[in-house]
């Protein structure tokens, strides 16, 4: 977590195995303190731009494998860092809410235009649903998304009250030895786990108010969602968003559901061995709808 003054290197050209050269760029939305990490094909294509939205304690780092995979195949990818996350501007977590984060996503979608495909993970999936109530998209995909109020049992009042204004990886069960995490999340390697632990952060910085809203239930107006191609993906080893909740959301949205029984919540995106299966499923969805 840092400010906008120390972004990563702006341009990086590389030749991926079996793909096209890609380069890195950036988009800044200074009025909201947002930094978007962009991975672009060396040559422009007619494919739709993809906006990636991370979940709790995440950042554009969550999407690095996807950014590289899709840019090498002609899709420009833009990974948003929500306020107070990774390279975006720091802020008091107690001042941030689901509404704040939703406005961040809307600002990014408006920058990319109505032809963008929105892809969200975890809380980011819920934020995508909230944002596209008001912002047009060409399609959307939700990966292990937090379900809206209409599909979840509200947490008990004391559970909601006990969420601190700022919280960290301990609340997700990631403040333990890597060996324990590997036993619980069998699709991750030691290197995967150590990297995720490091990037989830040493200090609490996630918004308590936003988490309390998610636990109490964030409403989504299904009638306001655009009638565009959509896809929902779940993970059988997910200890944060149960697969049955994700499947129920897919049915509620009238979306195809793709389960990955041997994947965990983070393994869907970051597993060295397993992310490619998820990326290929998303790519097949994009190609099927000519996106």
Catalogue all structural domains in the chain, each as residue range(s) with its CATH number. 22-286 (3.40.50.1820)
Mean pLDDT value of segment 129-142: 98
Q: Is the pLDDT of residue 283 over 90?
A: yes
pLDDT at residue 15, rounded to an integer: 45
**Distance between alpha carbon 214 and the CA centroid of its chain, in Å?**
15
pLDDT at residue 6, rounded to an integer: 44
What is the C-alpha separation between 206 and 160, in angstroms, rounded? 15
| DSSP for residue 229 | -
pLDDT at residue 45, rounded to an integer: 84
| Token code pair at residue 272 | 């060295």
Query: Which residues, other chains included, contact 153 with Cβ-Cβ below 8 Å and sequence gap of 6+?
Result: none
What is the C-alpha separation between 101 and 62, in angstroms, rounded? 17
What is the C-alpha separation between 244 and 224, in angstroms, rounded? 24
pLDDT at residue 169, rounded to an integer: 95
What is the C-alpha separation between 264 and 270, in angstroms, rounded? 10
Mean pLDDT value of segment 228-233: 98
When the pLDDT of each residue in the chain is averaged and rounded to a whole number, the result is 92
What is the C-alpha separation between 262 and 277, in angstroms, rounded? 11
Q: Report which secondary-structure segment, H or E, holds 41.
A: strand 34-41
| Token code pair at residue 89 | 């501007």
Q: Is the pLDDT of residue 11 over 50?
A: no
- Taking the whole predicted model, whether its pTM rises above 0.85 is answered as yes
Q: Give the residues across from 141 on adjacent strands.
A: 119, 231
Q: Which residue has the higher pLDDT, 8 or 166?
A: 166
In the three-class reduction of DSSP (H, G, I as helix; E, B as strand; rest coil), residue 207 is classed as strand
The C-alpha R_g of the chain, in whole angstroms, comes to: 18
pLDDT at residue 12, rounded to an integer: 42
Q: What is the pLDDT of residues 39-62, one digit of tens each?
A: 999 888 899 999 999 999 999 999
What is the C-alpha separation between 177 and 190, in angstroms, rounded? 10
């Amino acid at each position: 977590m840092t400010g906008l003054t120390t972004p990563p290197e702006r341009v990086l050209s590389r030749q991926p195995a079996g793909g096209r050269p890609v380069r890195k760029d950036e988009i800044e939305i200074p009025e909201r303190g947002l930094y978007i990490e962009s991975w672009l094909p060396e040559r422009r294509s007619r494919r739709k731009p993809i906006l990636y939205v991370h979940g709790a304690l995440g950042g554009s780092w969550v999407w690095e494998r996807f950014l590289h995979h899709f840019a090498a195949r002609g899709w420009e990818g833009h990974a948003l860092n929500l306020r107070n996350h990774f390279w975006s501007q720091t802020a008091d977590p107690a001042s941030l809410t689901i509404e704040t984060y939703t406005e961040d996503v809307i600002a990014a979608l408006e920058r990319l235009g109505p032809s963008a495909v929105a892809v969200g993970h975890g809380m980011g999936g819920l934020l995508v649903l909230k944002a596209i109530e008001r912002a047009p998209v060409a399609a959307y995909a939700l990966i292990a998304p937090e379900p809206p109020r209409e599909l979840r049992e509200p947490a008990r009042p004391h559970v909601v009250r006990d969420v601190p204004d700022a919280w960290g990886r301990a609340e997700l069960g990631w403040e333990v030895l890597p060996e324990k995490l590997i036993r619980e999340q069998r699709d991750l390697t030691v290197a995967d786990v150590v990297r995720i632990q490091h990037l989830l952060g040493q200090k609490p910085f996630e918004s308590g108010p936003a988490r309390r809203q998610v636990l109490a239930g964030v409403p989504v107006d299904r009638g306001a969602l655009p009638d565009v191609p959509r896809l929902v993906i779940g993970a059988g080893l997910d200890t944060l968003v149960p697969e049955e909740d994700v499947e129920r959301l897919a049915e509620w949205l009238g979306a195809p559901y793709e389960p990955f029984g041997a994947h965990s919540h983070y393994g869907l995106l970051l597993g060295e061995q397993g992310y490619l299966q998820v990326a290929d499923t998303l790519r097949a969805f994009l190609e099927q709808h000519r996106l």
